[in-house]
Amino acid sequence: MPGLVYAALAYIAWGLFPIYFHALARVDAFEIVMHRSLWSFVFVWAVLLAARRLQWVGGVVRQPRLVAQFALSALLLSANWLLYVWAVNHGHVVEASLGYFVTPLVNVLLGTWVLKERPRRLQWLAVAIAACGVLWLTLTLGRPPWIALGLAGSFGSYGLMRKTAPLGALEGLAVETAVMAPVAIVALAWLAVPRGGVFAGMDGATVGWLLFAGPITAIPLLLFAAGARRITLATLGTLQYLSPTIQFLLGVTWFGEPLQGMRLVGFVLIWLALGVYSADGFLWLRRQRGALAPAGR
């Protein structure tokens, strides 16, 4: 039960992110991402120092190729953050939620192309249905859903890199923020020059929200890591839809974004694809358990 609660809290926190970033709507998206990178670095390394979990640092420093790998994953993560914050603060929360609905299906394609995995038939069916949903949205919007595709592509690629990396969630984020922190410091210093300070012209609430970017980034990751170790992959795969569902509902209700009936058809197709994908995961897990049962008796 604790594992289920930890994972659910992580996905709920991610789902509520639009409210947080909307509170910073007066701040440019690029500046928000730089603050998020810097204060995440401070918070994550403070946690590691307090927990005395720094033994791995020396081994990473001695592996330039590994550092380069995390530098690339940090670039993908920063691009994902930037696009997401921009989308939220420009009235595209619903389309941003679509990006995270599509991400699991992008993972299937990346696994096929990069890792040479062989998707099962129902997984291919899910991808085909999702492709129809994206095509329908393209026709109804008059353009491809670039925000959704950009978020799904960047986060899917980031997930692929982290899948093949040897570090855990917190340690990996620590390396990524260490790579991003110098860039963030230089960028924030450059932005501060014309206005006379990093926080010049900002009210206390805005400054507080920016400083809170560190814990609000790291705490859900810690909850997710704790939950993932305690529950099955199938349960984790089902819970992952909590986040985009909350974002979608916030976009329609809290932020009042329009959702015409014709556009809704595209979302229904995406949800149908996710239903097929989830069903395949449960069926596969049952077959695996069935195959192992005789050996355990």
Confidence band (pLDDT; 50, 70, 90) for 297?
A: very low
Nearest to 78 by CA among 121, 119, 135, 38: 38
Residue with more model confidence, 122 or 147: 147
Confidence band (pLDDT; 50, 70, 90) for 110?
A: confident
Q: Which of 123-127, 181-185, 227-231, 267-271 holds the top average pLDDT?
A: 181-185
**Predicted pLDDT at 209:** 94
Q: What is the mean pLDDT of the chain?
A: 87
Mean pLDDT of 107-114: 83
- Residue 296: is its pLDDT beyond 50? no
Find out whether 152 and 102 touch, Cβ atoms under 8 Å.
Answer: yes
169-213 pLDDT, tens digit per residue, is 788 889 999 999 999 999 999 999 988 888 988 999 999 999 999
- Residue 292: is its pLDDT beyond 70? no
**Predicted pLDDT at 160:** 83
**Predicted pLDDT at 166:** 82
36-88 pLDDT, tens digit per residue, is 999 999 999 999 999 899 999 999 989 999 999 999 999 999 999 999 999 99
- Residue 290: is its pLDDT beyond 90? no
Structure tokens given for 123: 């997984």
Mean pLDDT of 153-160: 88
The SS3 call for residue 55 is coil
Confidence band (pLDDT; 50, 70, 90) for 233?
A: low
Mean pLDDT of 225-243: 73
- Angle at Cα 236 formed by Cα 151 and Cα 48, nearest 5°? 80
Structural domain of 64: 2-296
Q: How many domains does the chain have?
A: 1
Confidence band (pLDDT; 50, 70, 90) for 294?
A: low
Confidence band (pLDDT; 50, 70, 90) for 16?
A: very high
**Predicted pLDDT at 234:** 58
